[in-house]
Amino acid sequence: MPRIKAAICRAFGAPLSIEELDLRAPLAGEVEVTLEAVAICHSDISYAEGAWGGTLPAVYGHEAAGRISALGAGVTGFAVGDPVVVTLIRSCGTCPNCATGRPTICEDQTGPHGSALTAPDGTEVVQAMNCGAFAERVVIDASQIAKLPEGMAMDAASLLSCGVITGVGAVVNAADLRAGQDVVVIGAGGVGLNAIQGARIAGARRITAVDMTEEKLAIARDFGATDGLLATSDKPWKALRKATGRGADAVIVTVGAIPAYDSAPLYLAGGGRVVMVGMPPSGAKASYEPVVAAFMGQGMIGSKMGDVVISRDIPWMVDLYQQGRLKLDELISARWHLDQINEAIADTKSGGARRNVIMLTR
């Protein structure tokens, strides 16, 4: 059983520790991927801080790319050496949600085999979010990977595993945006910038970014926002209504902040919908007036991982990237090594980073 280095969370809110762990071989339906890059998502940070509970010790990280280094029995369509993205979307393929094209909410996401990680003393280590990708290698279900073209940079590719598909998919799949419609994106961080890109690709008329600083709004314009509103201004939804003449057809909430959820319905036009992407801590509650939604024919819908089907959606996003129509390299704020992960997390928490990427090959 090989030993790998990984960043382990042993106490919520404490720094991660770099330790050696044992990684078992892939079992039936699984693959081993030797990772080359893993990005830091705010969800990893929230989990490591205990926002949503969970079992420890655990290895977080779920936004990764690398090459297949071993195949379990029964895996077809992939070969050792293939470059792939690694996602947290494990799907059984047979439950009602999978069968109707919604694998992100598969009813059997845990799988039959359990964690592939153990400490040297035999203690099981949780592969958080079915991945545990803050590590040199992972063993995961084959449904969690999508093939990449040869030569694609792994740091850019890793972003497709979560932030890009979540943001673009929230607009294209969940909001079902049509050309000429108006969009508001609340939060111009990693996911928000990709929601803005998704709206641009889908042909939105006006794409309005809402954030706390002018600096973030300027970055949002670089990714396709036509307008920007400070969340700290007085009733920014009034400015949006003045600009569009009616409000937004879709409001994409990409931050897990309750004030963002409280204000989101106020931006909507009649018949519009709020797409809920950002995840507040468990127990946090937002408020709204249901009579307004009922009278105006408005809706609210949750979107997990952009409602993507990775074998369908990642290839066309890769193609857009290769055409220069989807920005990935520009999303990367800095590159770090595994032993710098706590510094990279601190930088991400500061709010200025778009995506920090841990490079696992030197």
Q: Which long-range contacts (CB under 8 A, 24 or more apart) does 309-314 make?
A: 309/101, 309/103, 310/85, 310/87, 310/89, 310/103, 310/144, 310/145, 310/146, 310/165, 311/146, 313/165, 313/168, 313/169, 313/173, 314/85, 314/146, 314/160, 314/165
Percent over 70 (pLDDT), the chain: 100
Residue 61, pLDDT score:
96
The two tokens of residue 225 are 């926002």
What per-residue confidence (pLDDT) applies to 213? 93
Per-residue model confidence as pLDDT tens digits over 123-148: 999 999 999 999 999 999 999 999 99
pLDDT tens digits for range 104-121: 999 987 777 789 999 999
| More confident position, 282 or 228 | 228
Structure confidence at residue 362 (pLDDT): 60
Which domains are present in the chain? 3-161+328-359 (3.90.180.10), 168-303 (3.40.50.720)
CA-wise closest residue to 342 among 58, 14, 5: 14
Q: Model's pTM, two decimal places? A: 0.93
In this prediction, residues 309-336 reach a mean pLDDT of 96
Mean pLDDT of 241-252: 95
Q: How far is CA 142 from the centre of its chain?
A: 19
pLDDT for residue 113 = 79
pLDDT attached to residue 114 = 85
> How do residues 148-176 score in pLDDT, each as one tens digit?
999 999 999 999 999 999 999 999 999 99
For the cut 80, the answer to whether the pLDDT of residue 352 exceeds it is: no
CA-based nearest residue to 37, from 145, 143, 136, 149: 136
Does residue 272 contact residue 266 with C-beta atoms inside 8 Å?
no
